[in-house]
Structure 1
Amino acid sequence: MHHSFPLVETIVGGLFFAFILGYIAHKLRMPPLVGYLFAGIIVGPYTKGFTADMHLSQQLAELGVILLMFGVGLHFSIRDLLAVKRVAIPGALIQIALATLLGWLLAWLAGWSSGAGIVFGLALSCASTVVLIAALQRWHLGDSTQGRIATGWLIVEDIAMVFVLVMIPALAPVLSGQGSVSSADLFYLLGKTSVQIIAFVVVMLFLGRRLIPWSLQRVVGTGSPELFRLAVIAVALGCAILANYLFGVSFALGAFFAGAIISETSMNHTAEDASSGLREFFTVLFFVSVGMLFDPSIIIREPLLLIATLLVVVIGKSAGAFLIVRVFGYPPQTALTIAVALAQIGEFSFMIASLGSVYKILPPLASDLILGSALISIICNPFLFVWLNRYLEKQNQQATSAAPGVIDSGMMSDKPHAKVAAPIKPVSIYFVDEDMAVAPAVSNHTVLVGAGPVGQEIIRHLQAQNETVYVQENRLDVVTELRARQIPVAYGHALSDGMLDAVFVSEARNLIITIQNKTEIVSIIKAALALNPQLQIVTFSRYEQDKQLFIQAGATKVVDSQIVLAQEIMQAFEQA
C-alpha cells in the first residue's frame, strides 16, 4: 500500500537538489542561491521527473521570509529606521511610481489594457525581501548606511504593497474594464488599511516593546537554552501571524518589528544565534520555491517581451533608484549600492501577479513574464554585486593612491559602526577618524581568530607586550568595536575564501584560535599550516579527545581550559 507524504517529499526533494546544485555553484565560484533556484526548476511542475508540492513549497517559503525579516529586525532598531526616513519614504514611493509607469508603457506597447498595465507595473516595482537581505548579509552591508537605507526602503515598499494587495480586489471591476467602483468604497478601503497599519505600529511600539522583552526575560530565568530558542521562534512567528490576522499587514512586517524590538535589549545576540539555523534552512526553501514557479518555455515563446520586462526591473527601476538617492545628497557609492540591491523582484510580485490573474486583470502571458523576470533578475543580482564591489574596489584603490591609507567609504554617517567594508576579497580594516583604512601587509605578527571574552583578554596582553596583532572575527558589533580601537580586523568566516590571507597568516609567527567549534578549529589549523608550515598555533579545549584532535591537525599547543580555571580558583583562594 502506497502512502503519500507530500510535505516530507517536498522538503527532502527540495533540500537534496538544493544541496547538490548549491555545492556545484559554489565550486564554480557562483553564489549558492543560483543553485537553489535551479533546484527549484528541477523539482517544479515544468520539468520531467520528481515534482514537489507547489502549494506546500510556497508556505514553507513564507516561513523563510518571516524568519529572515525577523533576523533583519535584530540588526535594525526602530531608531535606525527613523534615521533613514528622509530618503527611504519618498525614495521608495517615487521608485514604485516610476517602475509602475515603465511597466505600464511596456504593457501598452504589448497591446494590453491600461488596468493590466498598472497591475503589471506594480508587480515589477517591488524588490524581493529575501534576495535583498541575503545580499546585504553576504557583502557585510547590513550595518552600513547603504544597508540601513535599503532596509528602510524595503519596509516602505512592504507597507505600500499591503495597500496594493488590498486595493486590487476592490478595484478589479475598473482595472479589468468590466465595471466601476464608487469613490466612497475606495476611500473607505484606503482609510481602513491606513488605520490597521497605524494600529499595528502603535501596538508594537507601546505594548510589544514591554511584553516581548518581559516574556523573554522570564524564559531566560529558567536557565534552559532550548526553551529560549523556542521562545524566540515563537515570538517571530507569533508576531508575524498576529500582524497579518489582526491588522492585515504582511507577515514580513510583523516579524521585522518583533526583531527590531528585541534588538534594543541585551538578548539580541542570543536571539540571533537561536534563530539563525532555522532561518537559513527556510531561506533555502524560499529560493527553491521561486525556481518552481518558472516556466522555461517563456524564453522561447516570448524572448523579446521577457528581455524588455527584465530591462525594466534591472535597468529602469535601478536607474530610478540611483537618481533618487543622488538627489537626496548621498554619494555615488551609496546610490549604486541601493540601485543594485533593488535590481530584482520577488514575493510581492508573485502575489500581485496571482491577484491579477484571479480577477482577470492580467493576461496569462503577464504572469509568465513576471515570474520569468523575477527568476532571471534574482540569478543576475549576485553578479551585479560582484561587479559593484570590483568597481568600488577600483575606486578605493584610486582614492588610496591619491590619499594613502584612508579610503572614502562613500557612507554618510557620523557613527563609526556604520562604516563596514564590503570588498570583493577580504581585507583587514581599522578606523582612522571614522574613515576606513586598509591595514598594511605585515610579518612576524600574531593572528587571533575569535575575539570573544577570551580573545579580548589575549588582545590586551599582546598590546601590553607591543605585539602586532591582526584579528579575524565574524560578529559585526565586535568587529566595529575593535576597528574603532584601531585594531586591524578581517570581517567574515575564517574559512571563507581569502580570509586567512587578509590577516597575512602566511607571514605570521603565531596563530591563536579562541572559537569553540572543534570542526572549524581543525579546518582552520590545516588551512593555516598549508599557507605557513612554520606557524606556531595555540588553541584551547576542556576535553582530552578534542586536544588530541587538534594536536593531530597540527596545533603546537592546546591549553586545557579546566586546568587554567582550577589554577585561577586556587590563586584566588590563596590570596584570600
Structure 2
Amino acid sequence: MHDGMTLISTLAAAFGLALVLGLLAQWARLPALVGYLVAGVLIGPHTPGFVGDVHLAQQLSEVGVMLLMFGVGLHFSVHDLVSVKGIALPGALVQMAAATGMGAALAHLWWGWDLAAALVFGLALSVASTVVLLRALESRELLHTGNGRIAIGWLVVEDLAMVLALVLMPVLSGKGEAAGGGLALTIAKTLLAVAAFVALMLVAGRRLLPWLLWQVNRTGSRELFTLATVAAAVGLAVAAAALFGVSVALGAFFAGLVLRESAFSERAAHESLPLRDAFAVLFFVAVGMLFDPGVLVEQPLAVLATVAVILLGKTLAAGALVLLLRYPLSTALTVAVSLAQIGEFSFILLGLGQSLGLVPPEATSLVVAGAIVSIALNPLLFSGVEPLRRWVLPRSAWARRLEARDDPLAELPADTPATSLAGQIVLVGHGPLGAALRERLAGRPVVVIDRDREVVEALRAGGQPAVLGEAAEAMTLVQAHIAQAAWLVVALADVRDVPAMLALARQLNPELRCAALAHTDEEQRWLGEAGVSHVLRSQRALAEAFARLVAAS
C-alpha cells in the first residue's frame, strides 16, 4: 500500500479486526479486550499477512491513555487523592520495591543477567497499566467507590515513581549529563519539577481552564466545546511532559482534576467519552502488535516465571500490604487484582533500557508476553473477587476478622441517640441517590449503611448515624438496629444482593418494609418475587415526576 496511506491502513485494520475479534471474544464469554489483543498480534510484525505500523499505533494509543486519565481526573478530586494518601503512598512504594526485588532476583539469579538489567526488568514488572485498571473499575462500577479511589491513588503514586525512574536511568547508566556525582541533584531537580507542575495546575489551572471552557461554551457550538475538551487534555499532557518531565498520563490526569470543580466537568466527560473508548481499543491493539508468539516456544519457562511474578508475586505483596495497613479483606482483594497486570510504563521503561544498552533484547519479549497474559486474565481475576469473598467469609473466622478489622466505623457509636434507633429508616447506599433521599428525609430518624469508608467518616462528622459494611451481612444489619427499623431502603444501582439482604433483615424484623430501585421490567418482577414491598422503576418514576410537574403548572 502507498506510504501515504500507512496511518489510514493501520487504523482500518486495527479497528476492523478489533471489532470482529472483540465480538467473537464476547460470544465466547471472554472479555472483549482479549479480542483486541489478538487483533494486534495478527497485524503485528511477527505474524504473516498485513503488518501495521507499530510506532504509529503506539503513538495513537498514547492519546487513549491521555484521554482516559483526563476522564478519571474529571471524576476525581484533590480531596479524594489526599484521603487515600495513607495507604496509596506507602503501599505503592513498598509494593513496587517488592515486585522489583522479585523480578530482579529472577533475572539475576536464574537467567544470569547483570544487576542493572535485572533491576530494570524487575521495575518493569512492578508498575500496573492505567488503561487496564480504569477499564476494569468502570465496567464494574467501582471507579467512584472507596476501593476504587485507593486503587487509582495507588496508581498515581506508581506513575510518579516511574517518572523519577525514567529520569534517573540515563544517570545510572553513566550516559546522563549528571553522571559522575550529580545523582542527588538530578533527583532534587526532578522532584522540584513535578512539584512545580502540580502547584501550577492546582493554582493557575483551576482558574484558567474553567474560564476557557466558559468562553467556548458561550459560542453555543458543541463542536468547539468538544475540540476545547480534547485540546485541554492532550495539550496539557504534552506540555507537562515537555516542560516539567511529567508523564503524559499524569499531565492529563491533573488537567481533568482541575476541571472537576467547574460547571462543565460532566459535559467535558461526556463529550470526550467516544474518543476515549476508541483510542483505548488502540492501546490494546498496540500491545498485541509488540508480541512475538515465538517466545512462547523458545522460552516457555521464562514466560511462566514472568507471569508468576505479575499475577502471584505482585498480587500477594499488594494484598498483604493492604491488610498490614489495617484495611478490610475486600479492599485488599480489590487492590491486589487491580495491580495484577502491567502495561504502558513497562514498555516505555524497557524501550529506554534497550536504547541505553542496559537490558538484553529478550527482556522486551518477556515483558510483552507477561503484559499480554496478565491483561487478558485481569478481567477474570476481577470477576472472581466478589465470589471468592462470599465463599470464604462464611467458612473462615480468620477471614471474617480480616473483613471486620475491628473497625470502629463498623459499629454505631455508643452515644447514638435512642430516638435515632426506633422506627428508623435504614438507608443502604449513600451515592447521589442515597444522599438526595437522606436530605429529603430530614426530620426522620435515618441510619446509613455504606461500603465507602470516607462516606461513613463524613456522615459521622456531620452527626448522621452511619455504619461501614455490607448490608447483606447480618452483623452490619444488627449494628444498624434493623430489628427496630420501619423501612429498609436500598439506594444502590446493583440490586443483586437485595434478596439476601432482605431475608436476613426479616429474620430480625418480620414486619420490615423494603423499597428498592429497578432498572428493567425483569428486575422489577424479580425484586417483587423476593419480597420487596415497594419496587420503583427508575425511568418510570422519573416520567411520573415530570408528568406531575407539567400537570400542576
1:94 paired to 2:94: yes
Distance of aligned partners of 1:162 and 1:505 in 2 relative to their CA distance in 1, 3 Å threshold: farther
Q: Cα offset for 1:145?
A: 1.8
- What is the alpha-carbon distance in structure 1 between the residues aligned to residue 166 and residue 25 of structure 2? 35
Distance 1:221 1:312, change over 3 A: same
1:366 to 363, 368, 378: 363
Higher alpha-carbon deviation: 390-399 or 242-251: 390-399
1:333 aligns to 2:330 (yes or no): yes
Q: What is the CA–CA distance in structure 2 between the aligned matches of 1:287 and 1:148, rounded to whole Å?
A: 24
From 314, 320, 331, the counterpart of 2:311:
314
- CA shift, 1:101, in A, is 0.9
After superposition, where does 1:471-486 map in structure 2 within 5 Å? none
CA distance in structure 1 between the aligned counterparts of 2:529 and 2:259, rounded to whole angstroms: 38
Q: CA deviation at 1:228?
A: 2.1
- Find out whether 1:7 has 2:7 as its counterpart: yes
Determine the structure 1 residue equivalent to 2:130: 129
In 1, Cα distance between equivalents of 2:214 and 2:409: 33
Alignment of 1:119-518 (within 5 A): 119-173=120-174, 181-183=179-181, 185-395=182-392, 416-417=430-431, 419=451, 433=467, 435-437=469-471, 488-489=516-517, 514=539
Deviation at 1:86, TM superposition (A): 1.0
Find the aligned partners of 2:255 and 2:525 in 1 and give their Cα distance.
39
Contact 1:99 1:316 in 2 (8 A): yes
- Answer yes or no: is the 8 Å Cα contact 2:18–2:36 preserved in 1: yes
Q: Is the 8 A contact 1:345 1:378 kept in 2?
A: yes
Instruction: Give 1:139 deviation, angstroms.
Output: 1.6
Q: 1:202 Cα deviation (Å)? A: 0.6
8 Å CA contact 1:43, 1:49 repeated in 2? yes
Change (3 A) 1:503 1:254: farther
SS of equivalent residue, structure 2 residue 370? helix
CA contact (8 A) 2:524 2:536 kept: no
CA deviations 1:386-433 (Å, max 9, x no partner) are: 22121123357779xxx9xxx989999899447379xxxxxxxxx984
Take 2:362 and 2:3, find their aligned partners in 1: how far apart are those partners?
37
Structure 1 distance, partners of 2:327, 2:99, is 21
Match of 1:62 in 2: 62
**Amino acid of the residue matched to residue 350 of structure 2?**
A
Between the two proteins, the alignment pairs up a number of residues equal to 471
Q: Distance in 2 between matches of 1:180 and 1:71?
A: 36
Relative to 1, partners in 2 of residues 1:2 and 1:375: Cα closer, same or farther, differing over 3 Å? Answer: closer
Cα distance in 2 for residues equivalent to 1:413 and 1:51: 56
Name the counterpart of 2:38. 38
Structure 1 CA distance, aligned partners of 2:224 and 2:120?
45
Relative to structure 1, the CA distance from residue 467 to residue 325 in structure 2 (aligned partners, 3 Å threshold; closer, same or farther) is: closer
Cα gap change, 1:468 to 1:107, in 2 (>3 Å): closer
The whole-number CA distance in structure 1 between the counterparts of 2:520 and 2:339 is 29
Task: Classify 1:318/1:232 alpha carbon distance in 2 versus 1 (closer, same or farther; 3 Å).
Answer: same
Contact conserved, 2:490 with 2:517, CA < 8 A, in 1?
Answer: yes
Q: Which amino acid is the alignment partner of residue 194 of structure 1?
A: L
Q: 1:216 to 1:346 in 2, by over 3 A?
A: same
Aligned position for 2:84: 84
Native 8 Å contact 1:144 1:420 kept in 2: yes
Partners in 2 of 1:154 and 1:511 — Cα distance?
A: 38
Identical residues among aligned pairs (%): 42
- In the TM superposition, what whole-angstrom CA distance separates every residue of 1:64-123 from its partner, at most 9, and x where no partner exists? 100111111122101100011111111111111111111111111211101111111111
Distance 1:30 1:409 in 2: 35
Compared with structure 1, are the counterparts of its residues 393 and 243 closer, same or farther at alpha carbon in structure 2 (3 Å cutoff)? same
Aligned to 1:451: none
Q: CA deviation at 1:494?
A: 6.3
Corresponding letter in the other structure for 2:218: G
Aligned counterparts of 1:513 and 1:139: Cα–Cα separation in 2: 20
Moved more, 83-92 or 165-174: 165-174
Please tell me whether the aligned partners of residues 162 and 345 of structure 2 are also in contact (alpha carbons under 8 angstroms). yes
Measure the CA separation in 2 of the matches of 1:154 and 1:67. 16
Q: Aligned-pair RMSD on alpha carbons?
A: 3.7
Normalised to the residue count of structure 2, the TM-score between the two structures is 0.76
- TM-score with structure 1 length normalisation? 0.73
Give 1:419's aligned amino acid: R
Q: Secondary structure at the match of 1:124?
A: helix
Change (3 A) 1:15 1:471: farther
Shift in Å at residue 221 of structure 1? 2.8
Which whole-Å deviations, capped at 9, do the CAs of 1:474-502 have from their partners, x for residues lacking one?
A: 9xxxxxxxxxxx85346xx869xx97787
Kindly state the Cα deviation for residue 173 of structure 1 after the two structures are TM-superposed.
Answer: 3.2
Q: Confirm or deny: 8 A CA contact 2:67 2:272 kept in the other structure.
A: yes
Residues 21 and 38 of structure 1 are in contact (CA less than 8 Å); yes or no, is this contact kept in structure 2? yes
Partners of 2:309 and 2:386 lie apart in 1 by 23
- Distance verdict in 2 for CA 1:193–1:36, change over 3 Å: same
Q: CA separation of 1:180/1:103 partners in 2, compared to 1, >3 Å: closer, same or farther?
A: farther
How many Å separate the matches in 2 of 1:412 and 1:10?
56
